[in-house]
């Protein structure tokens, strides 16, 4: 059963990435407003699952960590959505694998986790994919998208590390709900002209925006369910490998066919690196 949920997670995540790129590559569409919808719709989709099995922190400390995680996710989502305006999903997806490198480094330095030859090999492959991307995508808009993607991975890695502390107070359903709800509320408070920008995005793109956000929420829920019943290594490796499907989708559906060889090399290197790090 874990295999089914892992496959669904990969498919939903691929669909969300492709639709997000379709919407945000248009200059007029607002990445920050899209980020709000991603969190808000994610909270709505995950709410019924949370209500069937609630487990939340009963002291102030996990909630303070949760608030910090919410702030980090706001920044991470904004950077990721902003990158979708400038680079294709396969490129941002390849760069996103760097989060595993940062998690490994943070784990070794702060949590005193051990390294291994597989982790080192995976790190080198991931870095190689980044070098290939940067070398072949050197236009200002490409570099901007790559910087946004790379920045998002640093915040993503920090969030993953903090999850280790939250899972002692929250189960996967409750955690999924709050990591959508809290960023949505924060975005409403800190986004300039929030209501106007949210209305502007949804007015002309409501079908695509809602579809991308629902797929994103379902991807998270399916992944958490797969992790709860299967081996984490197998689940995450299968999901990581869907970057290849994303590349095929952007080629066939989005018609983004430039630099195909570079994309193939970057995707294969990043995916292989992620798999080695996951299995180490």
Position 111 scores a pLDDT of: 64
Separation between Cα atoms, residue 222 and residue 101, nearest integer Å: 24
pLDDT band at 33 (very low <50, low <70, confident <90, very high): very high
Statement: residue 200 has pLDDT above 80: yes
Q: Report the pLDDT value the prediction gives residue 205, as an integer from 0 to 100.
A: 80
Q: What is the mean pLDDT of residues 198-207?
A: 85
The pLDDT of residue 276: 79
Backbone CA torsion sign across 183, 50, 4, 160: positive
Using the predicted structure, report yes or no on whether residue 52 has a pLDDT greater than 80: yes
At residue 68, the pLDDT reads: 95
CA 28-30-72 angle, to 5 degrees, is 160
- The mean per-residue pLDDT over the stretch 229-254 comes to 78
Nearest to 160 by CA among 278, 61, 253, 39: 278
Domain of 145 in residue numbering reads as: 2-279
DSSP secondary structure letter of residue 258:
T
User: What pLDDT does 143 receive?
Assistant: 86
Average pLDDT score, the chain: 85
Q: What pLDDT score does 206 carry?
A: 84
Of 87-96, 225-234, 260-269, the least confident: 225-234
Q: Judge whether residue 171 has pLDDT over 70.
A: yes
* pLDDT surpassing 80 at residue 247: yes
Our count of domains for the chain comes to: 1
Whether the pLDDT of residue 232 is over 70: the answer is no
Q: pLDDT grade, residue 278 (50/70/90)?
A: low
Largest interatomic CA distance in the chain: 52
Residues whose CB is less than 8 angstroms from the CB of residue 116 and which lie 6 or more positions away in sequence, other chains included? 280
The per-residue pLDDT for 223 is 83
Q: What is the pTM of this model?
A: 0.84
More confident call, 232 vs 191? 191
Task: Give the model confidence (pLDDT) of 143-169 as tens digits.
Answer: 888 899 989 988 988 887 888 788 889
């Amino acid at each position: 059963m874990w295999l089914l949920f892992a496959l669904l997670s990969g498919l939903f995540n691929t669909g969300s990435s492709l639709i997000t790129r379709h919407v945000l590559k248009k200059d007029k569409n607002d990445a920050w407003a899209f980020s709000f919808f991603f969190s808000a719709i994610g909270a709505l989709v995950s709410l019924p699952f949370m209500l069937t099995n609630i487990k939340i922190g009963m002291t102030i400390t996990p909630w303070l960590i949760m608030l910090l995680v919410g702030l980090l996710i706001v920044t991470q989502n904004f950077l990721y959505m902003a990158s979708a305006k400038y680079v294709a999903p396969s490129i941002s997806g390849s760069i996103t694998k760097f989060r595993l490198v940062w998690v490994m480094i943070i784990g070794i330095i702060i949590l005193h986790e051990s390294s291994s030859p597989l982790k080192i090999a995976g790190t080198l492959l991931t870095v190689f994919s980044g070098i290939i991307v940067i070398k072949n995508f050197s236009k200002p808009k490409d570099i901007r998208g790559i910087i946004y993607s790379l920045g998002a991975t640093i915040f993503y890695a920090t969030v993953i590390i903090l999850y280790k502390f939250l899972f002692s107070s929250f189960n996967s359903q409750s955690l999924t709900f709050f990591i959508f709800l809290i960023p949505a509320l924060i975005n409403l408070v800190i986004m300039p002209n929030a209501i106007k920008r949210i209305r502007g995005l949804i007015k002309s793109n409501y079908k695509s925006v809602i579809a991308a956000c629902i797929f994103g929420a379902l991807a998270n829920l399916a992944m958490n369910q797969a992790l709860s019943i299967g081996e984490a290594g197998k689940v995450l490796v299968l999901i990581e490998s869907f970057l290849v499907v994303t590349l095929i989708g952007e080629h066939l559906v989005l018609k983004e066919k430039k630099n195909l060889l570079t994309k193939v090399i970057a995707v294969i290197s990043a995916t292989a690196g992620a798999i080695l790090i996951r299995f180490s």
